[in-house]
Amino acid sequence: MAFIVNAAMVVVSAAVFYRNGMAVDTIEQAHKSLEPLVGSLSSGAFGIALLASGLSSSAVGTLAGQTIMNGFVNLNIPLNVRRLITMTPAMIIICLGINPMNALVLSQVSLSFALPLAIIPMILITGRKDLMGELVNKPITKVIGWIITSVIIGLNAVLLYLTFTGNV
């Protein structure tokens, strides 16, 4: 759900703002700019979409953590403690008054660099018949996985290059 909500927000925002020649730098600016361009309900819909995106992303992180803790390391952490662990970094950022847009961009950059570290072992493990049995990935799935991983690593390399050459 998070992907669908995020993709829809990007598509709608790009269509509305690009078509009207607007550069939007903050979430607040996007929220205020939508109403005169699209109508009175658009700002509320934008806010609800942001809330849905945040909640679904948090749920995915919590559930992924639960699956890993229970299934792989046999550690059972109560639901409320997992929620507290998941929400604490966001609360610290809010309480310290850090710019949420900068924190969001930094978190996404960090995620993009951490992603290959999770994807590569996953592709290797799910491609082993001795570990996965009949659920082993088919060759086409492995090829697609390696292509996607290569694209992510390539984009990260471009980001690093642009950042260190001052072109970002």
Query: What pLDDT digit, counting tens, does each position of 128-144 carry?
Result: 999 999 999 999 999 99
Neighbours of 5 (CB within 10 A): 19
Does 50 lie in the same domain as 107?
Answer: no
Mean pLDDT of the region 89-99: 88
Last residue of a domain, one of 45, 64, 98: 98
Mean pLDDT of the region 6-25: 77
The Cα 33–Cα 38 span in angstroms is: 9
The range of the structural domain enclosing residue 49 comes to: 1-98
Does 116 lie in the same domain as 83?
Answer: no
CA distances for 139 relative to 40, 76, 131, 142, 150, angstroms: 50, 35, 16, 5, 16
Give per-residue pLDDT as tens, 40-73: 888 788 888 877 777 777 677 677 777 777 777 7
> Long-range pairs for 42-51 at CB < 8 Å and ≥24 separation?
46/9, 49/5, 49/8, 49/9, 50/9
Please tell me the pTM assigned to this model: 0.56
In the DSSP assignment, the letter for residue 15 is I
Give residue 86's pLDDT.
76
Does 113 lie in the same domain as 54?
Answer: no
